[in-house]
Structure 1
Amino acid sequence: MNINDDLSNRLEQCYSGAVYDVLRAMGYPNQTLPNNIRPLDIDKKMAGPIYTVSGKYDAGYDPHETLLNWTGLLSKAPKGSVVICQPNDETLAHMGELSSETLQLRGVRGYIVDGGCRDSAFIKNIGFNVFCKYYTPVDVVGRWKAFGYGEPIKIGEVEIRTGDYVMADRDGVVIIPQEILEEVITKTEEVLKTESLVRKAIMEGVDPQEAYLKYGKF
């Protein structure tokens, strides 16, 4: 997959609301993941190219095989990517302490899962970006395996492909199709500049409606 750290860093300087506004204006209004997927640390945000993973729950899995599978997932995650996982399960933790530390050491920018997390205090303390739906101490051993590395997944109503980009912060998670990435980033940066002009005008006493009509943004 193509990793462009410059685009990731530029996108990370934006915020999800502005990215969403640009996508909506471009005809992509349904690119946000379900609003119950939340960050462990609401003060952090992340952006980058997506590496997709999916998985399956089965109580009959061999514990050793599930750990081999899990460590294989950690090995496959590309440096500079954000891993997004559709676990097809709502009972287990699909991220934990040692796994987060491993991904962080390997240069992965973050992990987003339509599922659970454990060891959340430790993960927050080391500063690794994780977004999840819930917390539980129950791990994947003997119960869950990953598959479909790099293949398309769906979370909520959003189709997600490896190579698409994500921008995530305390307000939510926005998926950007790779074909329009640079246009979205450029337009979002323009939005941020315009918002600054609107804010400055209002702080200087300009009527808010007048400011909106002048700059076309509010």
Structure 2
Amino acid sequence: MTGTLERLAALDTCAVSDALDSLGLPGAALGLHAVANGRRIAGTALTVDLVEAGTTTAPRHLCTAAVDTSGPGTVIIVAHHGRTHVAGWGGVLSAGAVTRGVEGVIVDGAVRDLDEAHEFGLTLYAATSVPVTARSRVVERDWNVPVDFAGVTVEPGDYVLADGSGVVAVPCERIDEVLSIAEAIAAKEREMLRRVRLGESMATVMSADYETMLNRKASR
């Protein structure tokens, strides 16, 4: 991992989301959670955009180009646009992704073959699972392009973090600023936890200052 990815992986999505909030930036991809091998993942986005079959001519099976060019430090982002009636990711793709060493895969819709994802050790985040195949139902429109993804825009190379609280995406050109603010927020919350464990009252620890900690000056 690069230094930037190491810094990102050391944070949680809540601190990063708070940092994005403090800058007035969207970033939380809503409605997604770990469905296989739920561990924290951090990486740069490699995107895929899916559409209904028949709306475009697909040159290949969905997600295969992204898998073939993926590797350590990358997270495959599949823009399935909230579809839950058909899978946008499956078991053979999971095997390929693990073989190439990806950090994980995140799909804003349904996936399938979760038993295989667990078996292969792939960390997979999605909205839900369904056994229905993508074949003849959805196809790849394009890959390595900007995508609308669960309420945020994700561009290739943007930074992605996922954990038990959800998924956030950070524009690559803002990553240093977001990391600095998120690290300050995390440090402040660690100090608050220390005070709680020492027996200070919650009213004191979570004083009015807590309500303003997303202010940029307060979070630095």
Scaled by the length of structure 1, the TM-score of the pair is: 0.83
Q: Unaligned stretches of 5+ in structure 2?
A: 215-220
Corresponding position of 1:86: 79
Corresponding position of 1:12: 9
Aligned to 1:148, the other structure's residue is in SS state strand
1:15 to 1:193, Cα distance in 2 relative to 1, 3 A: same
Corresponding position of 2:217: none
1:212 to 1:145, Cα distance in 2 relative to 1, 3 A: same
Q: Does structure 1 residue 55 correspond to structure 2 residue 73?
A: no
The farther-off stretch of 125-134 and 69-78 is 69-78
Match of residue 21, structure 2, among 12, 24, 31? 24
Q: Deviations over 1:86-139 (max 9, x none)?
A: 134443212122211211111211111122211112212332111112212222
Corresponding position of 1:159: 153
Aligned pairs, number: 211
Corresponding position of 2:30: 34
Corresponding position of 1:194: 188
Equivalent-residue separation in structure 1 for 2:18 and 2:57 (angstroms): 47
Q: Unaligned stretches of 5+ in structure 1?
A: none
* Matching residue's letter, 2:176: E
| 8 Å Cα contact 1:32/1:158 also seen in 2 | yes
The farther-off stretch of 84-93 and 181-190 is 84-93
The farther-off stretch of 88-97 and 158-167 is 88-97
Q: Does structure 1 residue 97 correspond to structure 2 residue 94?
A: no
* Matching residue's letter, 1:26: L
| 8 Å Cα contact 2:196/2:202 also seen in 1 | yes
Equivalent-residue separation in structure 2 for 1:66 and 1:163 (angstroms): 23
Equivalent-residue separation in structure 2 for 1:214 and 1:144 (angstroms): 50
Q: Percent identity between the aligned chains?
A: 24
* Matching residue's letter, 1:87: H
Match of residue 65, structure 2, among 48, 64, 72? 72
1:211 to 1:85, Cα distance in 2 relative to 1, 3 A: same
Equivalent-residue separation in structure 2 for 1:182 and 1:62 (angstroms): 39
* Matching residue's letter, 2:138: W
Corresponding position of 2:202: 208
Corresponding position of 1:119: 113
